[in-house]
Amino acid sequence: MAKATISAWVVKLLKFAYRHASEEDARLASTSVHEIRALAASIALQSNFALAEVLRAATWATPGVFAAFYLRDVSGLRDGLHVLSPCVVAGSAVH
């Protein structure tokens, strides 16, 4: 299966999932697959997955490439506490 096919499926899935989402969550509907890959890797790293596992799963050869181009700040503040930014898991927004 070609990467382009999988990418197109992911885009269609995201558009379908966010069709009836709140305005805050709907902004993610235009997120590219490339950006989702960066966000997923960043969340995995912040969730205490080993860096080597994150690099292997995302097929990055070196930590430098990940840190320079793909590492995203996925944290936020809620009630004075640091939290992950809202994300969708199994069809529900997780805050």
pLDDT digits (tens, 9 = 90+) for 44-83: 888 888 999 999 988 888 899 888 888 888 776 566 665 6
Q: Provide the strand spans (E) within 1-95.
A: 75-78, 81-84, 87-89, 92-94
Q: Is the pTM of this model over 0.75?
A: no
pLDDT at 81: 60
Averaged pLDDT score across all residues of the chain:
76
- d(CA 30, CA 78) in angstroms, rounded, equals 25
pLDDT at 29: 59
Question: Domain extents for the chain?
Answer: 3-94
User: Which three-class secondary structure state does DSSP give residue 18?
Assistant: coil
pLDDT at 47: 82
